[in-house]
Amino acid sequence: MRLAVAQVYSTPDSIDVARRSWLAGVPAIFAGDLEDSSRNLRFVPGQDAFARRYGPSNHKFDNRPLALIRLANRTLEFDWLLVGDMDTCFHVDALRAALSPINPARRHFLGMPAPPGQTSCSSEKSILAGKCCSIQDLVHFSDCVLTVRRARHFRNSSIKHPHVANGRGYVYAFPHGGAGYVLSSGLLRAISEAQWSTCESELLEGGGDLRVGACVYHTTGVGLTELPGLLGNLSRHKEQPDARSAPLLDPENAVRCDTEGEAASGPSPQASEAPPPATKGSGSAALVFVLWNTMMGSTLLVMPSCFRESGWLLGLVLAVLCAGVSQYTCGVVLLHGMRLPDPQAEVADLAHAYLGRYGWGATLFASVGVCFGAACAMHGYLATSLNDLLVDSREQGGLGLASAWTSLSPNPKGVAAALVLALLLPLCSLRSMALLARLNGVGIACLFLILAFIGASAVANGLAPEALAPASLAQPSLKVLGTLALSFFIHSIAITIFRAAATPAHNARNLGAASRAQPGEIGRDQPSHPPHSVGVGDPASLESAAARNSFLSVRQPPSLATPLLVARFAVVLQCVTVYPVLVYAIRTQTFCALVYRDPYPGALPVLGLNAIVLCATAAVSIFGLHIADVLRFTGAFAALVMVYAVPAGVQWAELAAAA
C-alpha cells in the first residue's frame, strides 16, 4: 500500500523536523512561501495575492489545500493521500493498518467531521437524503455518495460562512484539517485537474478544508466518512494559537506534535526505528520464466495433436489472436488486483470488489478449477513420461526396464501416478512462492530442450506430402480454441506470481514479454505439426490416443532415441517445477478466500489440502482421461469466466465509478 503526505503550511525547518521523525521515508509534497525542489516544497501564493476576498474567520492561505491536492495528484504515486497542517503528524503504520481493508481504487474521502454545527454521516439522518456511511460500509466496497438537503452545488463564491450550519454550497460534514484527512486514488482520479482548478477559482470563502469537502461533493457526490482514531492513535495535532494572525506556524510544533503522539499511543515505528530491510523478491527474468513455463508448459506436448485437428495455418492465426486478448485482459486483472489493499488478496477478491458476491463465487470456482485442470495435465505428463522412460526400449527413447517395472503392479501407470504424488508433496508444501520462482529457471531450460527435440523430430521426419493441402492449412473444427486459451492463460495466478516481484513497477512489462514470446514459441513448435510428418512418416499418428496425452509418446525414428530420452527427462523436470506453482495457487486462493486469509496457516492445513489436490490429480491420471481433453474443456471454461467475463466486468465497474 502506497501512502503519500501533503502538508498545506510548511517551511524548510518544519519539513526537516518531520523528515527526521514520523515522515521518514514517506513520499510527500509541501506548500509554503518559497520554492525548494530539494524538499519538494512548492510555492503557493496566498489568497490575498489574487483578491482580498476572505473574511475575518478565514486564513489567507485557505486556498492552499485545493492547490496542493491538485499538485500531489499530478506529481506523486500513491494509493492514499494524507492531507494535514504543518502541526499535524500522522502515525503512518497505524494508518496503513486502518486503511488496509478498504479498496483505494474506489472513491473514498475519510476524516474527522469538523465542528461546530456540522453533522457526521452517522447522525441526524433526517438531514441526509442519501445513505449514511461508515468504515464498515467502505470495507464492503461501497462509495459514500450523499444527497444533502439545503447544501446545493456552489455557484461562483456562493459558499457561506463556515459557522453557519445551513449555509448553501457546502456539505454538512467537512474534514477537520488539524486532524488530517485521507483521499483515495480512486477519488482523485474521478476529479479532473480542470475541475480542481475550477474549485480553486470559484471557492473563495470558507476554510480551506471546507472548500476541499465542497469540491469533492460537488464534483463526485461523495461525502465525508468518519475515520475513527484521528487525533488519537492515527494522528496528532498541536493546536495553533491563532490561525488568523499567525502567517506560518512555529516549526517546533512538529516536534511537540510527534512527542505527544508517542506519549498517547507509543512511539511511531518510523520515528524510532530504521525501516525494516526489504524482502528480496524475484527479478524480472525469473518472473517471465515462471509465466512462460506455467502458460506454455501445460499445453506444449498436446499442441501437435490439436493443430492436426484445426490445420497448422488456422492454428497459428488463432494463437496470435488468443495471445493478444489474453495479454490485455490479464493486464486488467493485474492492474486492479495489485491495487487491492489486502496484501493477500487474490483474483476472487478482485471480483468481489467490483462484481459482488456472485462474481466472487464464480471467479473463485473458475480460478481454482483451471489451476486444477492444469495440475491434472502436469501430473499426467509426469506420470506418462516416467512410465515411457521405464517401459520403452532404448531404441524407443526409454531405459528398457519394462519387465522390472511391470512386475511391480498390473497397472504400471497407476504406480507412476502414485510415485509422482510422493515426489511432489514436499515441494507443494513450501511456505513461499519465491523459491518456486527460482526453481522455474530449471523448468525453462527443460522447455528449451523439449523445443529442440521437436525441431529435431521435424528434420528427421521431413516434410509431409500434404503440407499445403487445404485440410492441412485449415479445418472447420475449432476445438483447438480451448487449448489455445489455456496456453496463454495466467489470469488466475498472475496476482500471486507478481506479488513476489522485486520491482513491481516492471510487472506490466514482464507480463507483455511473456505473452509476446508465447506465439513465437508455438510457431517454433510448428515443425512437429503438419506440414511436417511424425511417427516414421505417418502424420495420422498425431490423431492417436498417445498423441492426445503427450507428443513424446508418439513413436519416433531410431535416430531420435537419445534426443527422445533427454526430452522425456526434461519433461519430468519441467513438470516438477510447474506443478508446485499450480498447487500453490490452489492453496493460496482457497485459504485466502475461504478460511484463513493466509496462504500458509500452518503445516497441517497445508499438507492436508495438498494431499487432497494431489490425490485428485493422480486419480485423473490413473483413470486414463486424455490430457488434451482435460485441457480443452478446462481452457474453454477458464476463457469464458476469467479471460472475458471478469476483466470486462472489472473494467466496466471502474469506468462506471469514474463516470
C-alpha cell at 1: 500500500
3-state DSSP call for residue 222? strand
pLDDT mean over 74-89 = 88
Q: Can you give the pLDDT at residue 89?
A: 86
In eight-state DSSP terms, residue 128 is B
Spatial contact of 148 and 166, defined as CB atoms under 8 Å apart: no
Pick the CATH number of 3-272 from 3.40.605.10, 1.10.8.100, 3.90.870.10, 3.90.550.50: 3.90.550.50
CA distance linking residue 230 with residue 267, whole number of Å: 16
Q: What is the mean pLDDT of residues 353-368?
A: 84
Confidence band, pLDDT 50/70/90 cuts, at residue 324: confident
Mean pLDDT of 443-471: 73
Backbone angles phi and psi of 5, in degrees to 5: -120, 140
- What 3-state class would DSSP assign to 116? coil
pLDDT at residue 329, rounded to an integer: 87
> Using CA atoms, how far apart are residues 305 and 547, in angstroms rounded to an integer?
6
CATH 3.90.550.50 in the chain is located at: 3-272
Sign for the pseudo-dihedral over CA of 358, 363, 366, 371: negative
pLDDT at 301 over 60: yes
- Which H or E run includes 120? none
Number of residues written out for the chain:
659
- Tell me 140's DSSP state: T
Residue written as grid cell 511456505: 431
Residue range 465-483: mean pLDDT, rounded: 71
**For 517-558, what is each residue's pLDDT tens digit?**
655 555 444 444 444 444 434 555 556 666 566 667 777 778
* Interval 60-82 mean pLDDT: 87
Mean pLDDT of 484-492: 75
- Report the amino acid identity of residue 341: P
* pLDDT 10s digits, 586-613: 888 788 777 776 778 888 999 999 999 9
Q: Which of 168-172, 320-324, 341-345, 409-413 has the highest mean pLDDT?
A: 320-324
| Average pLDDT over the chain, rounded to an integer | 72
Extract the C-alpha cell encoding 224: 465525508
For 304-330, what is the mean pLDDT? 80
- Residue 465, pLDDT > 90, answer no
User: SS3 of 397, please?
Assistant: coil
Residue 272: is its pLDDT beyond 80? no
Terminal CA-CA length for the chain: 25
Q: pLDDT, tens digit, for every residue of 145-200? A: 544 433 333 333 333 333 333 333 344 457 778 888 999 998 888 888 888 888 88
pLDDT the model gives residue 542 = 59
Per-residue b or e along 62-86, where b marks 16 or more CB atoms closer than 10 Å to that residue's CB:
bbbbbbbbbbbbeebebbbbbbbbb
Alpha helices, DSSP H, located in 462-560: 470-473, 480-487, 494-498, 507-524
pLDDT of residue 333: 86
Residue 482 pLDDT exceeds 70: yes
Q: What is the largest CA-CA distance in the chain?
A: 100
| Rounded mean pLDDT, 467-474 | 71
**How many alpha carbons lie under 13 Å from residue 446 in its C-beta half-sphere?**
25
Reported as half-sphere exposure (CB side, CA atoms, 13 A), residue 189 has a value of: 18
User: Boundaries of CATH 1.20.1740.10 in the chain?
Assistant: 284-658
pLDDT band per the 50, 70, 90 thresholds, residue 81: very high
Least confident span in 28-32, 68-72, 208-212: 208-212
Partners of 501 in the beta sheet? 282
The cell for 592 is: 485466502
Q: What percent of the chain is helix, strand and coil (3-state, nearest 5)? A: 55, 5, 35
Specify the DSSP class assigned to residue 500: T
Q: Are 654 and 354 in contact (CB under 8 A)?
A: yes
CB distance 566 to 450 below 8 Å: no
pTM above the 0.75 mark? no
pLDDT: is 153 or 113 the higher one?
113
pLDDT, tens digit (0-9, with 9 covering 90-100), for 237-259: 765 433 333 333 344 444 344 44
φ, ψ of residue 6 in degrees (nearest 5): -125, 120
CATH superfamily of 284-658: Amino acid/polyamine transporter I (1.20.1740.10)
